[in-house]
Amino acid sequence: MKNNSNQGIDSLIEIAIKVYEDRIPFNRLLGVQVKSLDLDQAVLGFEMRDDLVGNYVQEILHGGVISAVLDAAGGMLASVGVLNRMIGSPKDEMAQRLARIGTIDLRIDYLRPGRGKYFRARSNMMRTGRKVAVTRMELHNDQDLLIAVGTGTYIVG
């Protein structure tokens, strides 16, 4: 049996998953699906499609798709960190706080061409504070090759 604190966290994680998969239109367009999410790590996945190709000759993933998915993975983890600090707060206060979360810096290093049938983005929390959260992200293909890495800084306060 879970204690109330874990039930609160699980409930917030479910909300975050619903928001990032269903409520953000661009994530739906990209086909982003949350594979796992907890307080320390988020894992998102998506399949390669013709409309995500950036170089049609080489049939590789567009760099903008790579950065958008890594940003989504980092932003989702930053959101969960904020929600965790607010367990027990009124839902409208939590919603207002989530609405203010945004990317303030995003750095992406493209290491290999985005070849693959399926991609997985993983973010890990580096630091979460009252005003700023920092995450580290990686994108791997279906062969587990590291395609890109990134660091995201998010305003959370």
**Whole-number pLDDT of residue 33:** 95
Coil, helix or strand for 96?
Answer: helix
Tokens of 124: 């890990």
Report the distance separating Cα 107 and Cα 113, nearest Å: 17
Task: Give the H/E segment covering residue 61.
Answer: strand 60-61
The pTM of this model reads: 0.91
Residue 25 neighbours by CB distance under 10 Å: 8
Task: Give the H/E segment covering residue 67.
Answer: helix 63-85
What φ, ψ does residue 147 adopt, rounded to 5°?
Answer: -90, -45
Q: How confident is the model at residue 6 (pLDDT cuts 50, 70, 90)?
A: low
Domain assignment of residue 98, given as a range = 4-155
The pLDDT of residue 14 is above 70: yes
Tokens 């049609």 -> residue: 56
What φ, ψ does residue 97 adopt, rounded to 5°?
Answer: -65, -45
Domain count across the chain: 1
Q: Express each pLDDT in 125-150 by its tens digit.
A: 999 988 999 999 999 999 999 999 99
Considering only CA atoms, which of 117, 144, 128, 152 is closest in space to residue 46?
117
Which has more pLDDT, 5 or 156?
Answer: 156
CATH code, domain with 142: 3.10.129.10
